[in-house]
C-alpha cells in the first residue's frame, strides 16, 4: 500500500509540474453517465490535489435515474491523473476522466468503474484487452426550423465514399482535428470521407481498453466543440438520415499478456492468423450478441442503422447477421488481419466504458467456456429450421434487445445486477416514449392519406 501511495504522490507532483509549465489554470473533473453523456465540474488548477483526495461532488439524483434520490449524499468524482488531456484548442484547461465514489467506496453506477472491474477479472486470467475504435460522424448545418443537412452543400454524390474533392473541401476541419490528435500523441493513421454525404471517420492508434474508452469520450467532445466554433453541428447519431448510411463505431481488439499478442497464430489452419483463444473470444461475442446489442446499440435509433435495407449509395455496412469471417465487412465480427478482430455492431450512442466492459465480458465467457463460434452459428441455424425464428440475426428493435439482455446472466453479473436493473428499466422507458410518440410520418400516412 505504501508503494501505491508513494507512486500516486509522485504522479500527482509530476502532473502538477506539467500543469504549471503549460500554464493550465483550470481542470474539468469529468465522468460519463449511463448514456455516455459527459458530466463535469470546472475546478481551479490549484485545487487538483484536494480534488484527487476528496473528489468533486455531484448530486446523483440530478444526473438521472441512477439509484439516487434527493436525500442521498453526493457522489464524488476522483480524477484519474493518467487521463490528463490538455485541450489543444484551449491550452489553459485540462480534462480528466474520473471514477465515482460514494461514502469512500466505488460507486456501482459508475460505468468507468464497471469497465475497471471487468478488466481486473481479465487481468486475473492473464489477459489485457487492447482496443482501437473507428468513430464516424456527420458535419451538418441546422436551419431555423431545426432541419439538418450536410454542411458541405456540394457534397451530393450518390456514392461519395472516399471522394477526394469532398474530403478536401473539409480540409480545414479535418486537418485541424488531426493536428489536435497528434498533439495528444494519439498517432492518427488516416481520415476519410465515409459512405454518406457529410460523413467522416478518423482512425488512430490502439491502446489499452481504458485509455481507448477515455479517448473516445474526449474525441466526441472535441469534435462537437470544434463544430460549434464553426457554427456547425457534429453528430455521432447512428442514423440521422433515413436515406444515408449510418454512423458506426467499429472496435478492433485483441488480448495481450505483456508484449505477447494472445490472439496471434501464424499457423491458423483457417488462414485468419488467429489463435484458439481468439476464436473462443469470438464465440463469446456470437453467443451473447443479441443481449450485447442492448449495450453497444443502446437507442431506438441504433436499430434503424442495423436493420437498414438500402441507402442512396446502395450500401449499409451495418451487420445484422450473427456471424464472423475473414476480411469481410458484412460480418458482425470481422478478422481484418492476423492477431486482431473487429466488432462491427457498436455505434457512438453507446457509453464507451459500458460497451467495452460488455464486449470484454462476453469474450471472456467465450474463453472460459471454450465456445466454438462455428458451433454457435450451426446451433442458430438449427433453431431457425426447427422453430422458424431468426435467432441468427441481431435484434430488430431496442425492445427486442432489452428482452435478450434481461435473460443474459453472464452480462448482468459482469456489469453489476443493480446497475443493469436500472439500465434495463430506463431502456424500457425509452422504448415506451418512442412507441407512444405520434410522428409526422404517422400523421401523413394514416390521417391524410387514408381519410
Over the stretch 336-349, which tens digit does the pLDDT of each residue have?
999 999 999 999 99
Cell numbers for 214: 477515455
| Structural domain harbouring 49 | 2-106
Summarised one tens digit per residue, pLDDT across range 31-44 is: 999 999 999 999 99
In this structure, the answer to whether residues 79 and 137 fall within a common structural domain is: no
Q: ∠ CA 69-55-61 to the nearest 5 degrees?
A: 15
Q: How many domains does the chain have?
A: 2
Cell numbers for 305: 442503422
In this structure, the answer to whether residues 208 and 128 fall within a common structural domain is: yes
- The residues near 130 (Cβ < 8 Å, ≥ 6 apart) are 206, 207, 208, 209, 212, 253, 254, 255, 256
In a domain, 260, yes or no: yes
- The residues near 323 (Cβ < 8 Å, ≥ 6 apart) are 286, 331, 332, 333, 377, 392
In this structure, the answer to whether residues 100 and 126 fall within a common structural domain is: no
CATH number, domain with residue 58: 3.10.20.70
The radius of gyration of the chain from alpha carbons, rounded to an integer in Å, stands at 22
pLDDT band with cut points at 50, 70 and 90 for residue 201 = very high
Residue 1: what pLDDT?
Answer: 33
In this structure, the answer to whether residues 215 and 244 fall within a common structural domain is: yes
**In percent, how much of the chain has pLDDT > 90?**
82
Rounded mean pLDDT, 124-138: 98
**Residue 214 CA neighbour count, 13 Å, CB half:** 24
pTM for this structure?
0.94
Question: Of 30, 92, 274, 313, which Cα lies nearest the Cα of 194?
Answer: 313
Residue 390: what pLDDT?
Answer: 43
Mean pLDDT across the chain:
92
In a domain, 208, yes or no: yes
In a domain, 112, yes or no: no
Summarised one tens digit per residue, pLDDT across range 66-83 is: 677 888 888 999 999 999
Residue 287: what pLDDT?
Answer: 96
In this structure, the answer to whether residues 429 and 292 fall within a common structural domain is: yes
pLDDT for residue 318 is more than 60: yes
Helices 276-287, 352-368: inter-axial angle, 10-degree rounding: 120
Rounded mean pLDDT, 177-187: 98
In this structure, the answer to whether residues 79 and 185 fall within a common structural domain is: no
In this structure, the answer to whether residues 101 and 123 fall within a common structural domain is: no
Place of cell 489553459: 92
Amino acid at each position: 500500500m505504501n508503494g501505491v501511495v508513494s507512486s500516486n504522490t509522485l504522479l500527482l507532483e509530476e502532473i502538477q509540474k506539467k500543469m504549471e509549465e503549460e500554464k493550465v489554470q483550470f481542470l474539468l473533473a469529468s465522468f460519463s453517465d449511463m448514456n455516455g453523456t459527459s458530466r463535469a465540474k470546472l475546478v481551479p488548477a490549484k485545487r487538483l490535489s484536494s480534488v484527487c483526495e476528496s473528489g468533486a461532488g455531484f448530486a446523483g439524483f440530478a444526473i438521472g435515474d441512477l439509484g439516487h434520490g434527493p436525500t442521498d449524499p453526493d457522489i464524488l468524482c476522483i480524477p484519474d491523473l493518467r487521463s490528463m488531456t490538455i485541450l489543444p484548442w484551449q491550452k489553459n484547461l485540462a480534462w480528466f476522466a474520473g471514477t465515482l465514489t460514494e461514502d469512500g467506496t466505488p460507486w456501482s453506477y459508475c460505468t468507468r468503474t464497471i469497465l475497471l472491474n471487468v478488466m481486473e477479472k481479465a487481468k486475473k486470467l492473464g489477459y489485457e484487452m487492447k482496443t482501437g475504435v473507428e468513430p464516424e460522424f456527420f458535419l451538418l448545418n441546422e436551419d431555423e426550423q431545426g432541419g439538418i443537412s450536410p454542411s458541405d452543400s456540394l457534397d451530393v454524390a450518390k456514392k461519395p465514399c472516399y471522394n477526394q474533392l469532398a474530403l478536401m473541401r473539409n480540409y480545414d476541419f479535418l486537418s485541424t482535428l488531426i493536428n489536435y490528435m497528434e498533439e495528444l500523441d494519439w498517432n492518427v493513421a488516416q481520415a476519410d470521407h465515409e459512405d454518406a454525404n457529410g460523413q467522416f471517420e478518423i482512425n488512430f492508434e490502439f491502446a489499452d481498453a481504458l485509455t481507448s474508452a477515455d479517448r473516445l469520450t474526449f474525441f466526441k467532445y472535441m469534435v462537437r466543440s470544434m463544430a460549434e466554433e464553426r457554427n456547425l453541428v457534429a453528430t455521432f447519431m447512428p442514423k440521422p438520415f433515413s436515406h444515408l448510411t449510418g454512423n458506426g463505431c467499429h472496435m478492433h481488439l485483441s488480448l495481450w499478456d505483456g508484449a505477447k499478442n494472445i490472439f496471434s497464430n501464424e499457423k491458423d489452419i483457417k488462414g485468419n492468423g488467429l489463435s484458439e483463444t481468439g476464436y473462443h473470444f469470438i464465440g463469446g461475442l456470437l453467443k451473447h450478441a443479441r443481449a450485447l446489442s442492448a449495450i453497444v446499440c443502446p437507442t431506438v435509433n441504433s436499430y434503424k442503422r442495423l436493420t437498414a435495407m438500402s441507402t442512396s449509395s446502395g450500401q449499409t455496412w451495418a451487420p445484422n447477421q450473427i456471424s464472423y469471417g475473414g476480411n469481410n465487412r458484412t460480418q458482425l465480427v470481422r478478422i481484418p488481419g492476423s492477431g486482431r478482430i473487429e466488432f462491427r455492431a457498436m455505434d457512438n450512442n453507446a457509453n464507451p466504458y459500458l460497451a467495452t466492459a460488455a464486449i470484454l465480458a462476453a469474450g471472456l465467457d467465450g474463453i472460459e467456456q471454450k465456445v466454438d463460434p462455428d458451433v454457435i452459428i450451426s446451433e442458430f441455424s438449427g433453431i431457425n429450421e426447427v422453430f422458424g425464428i431468426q435467432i441468427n440475426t441481431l435484434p430488430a428493435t431496442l425492445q427486442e434487445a432489452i428482452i435478450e439482455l434481461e435473460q443474459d446472466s453472464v452480462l448482468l453479473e459482469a456489469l453489476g445486477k443493480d446497475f443493469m436493473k436500472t439500465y434495463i428499466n430506463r431502456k424500457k422507458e425509452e422504448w415506451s416514449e418512442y412507441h407512444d410518440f405520434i410522428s409526422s410520418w404517422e400523421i401523413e400516412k394514416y390521417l391524410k392519406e387514408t381519410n
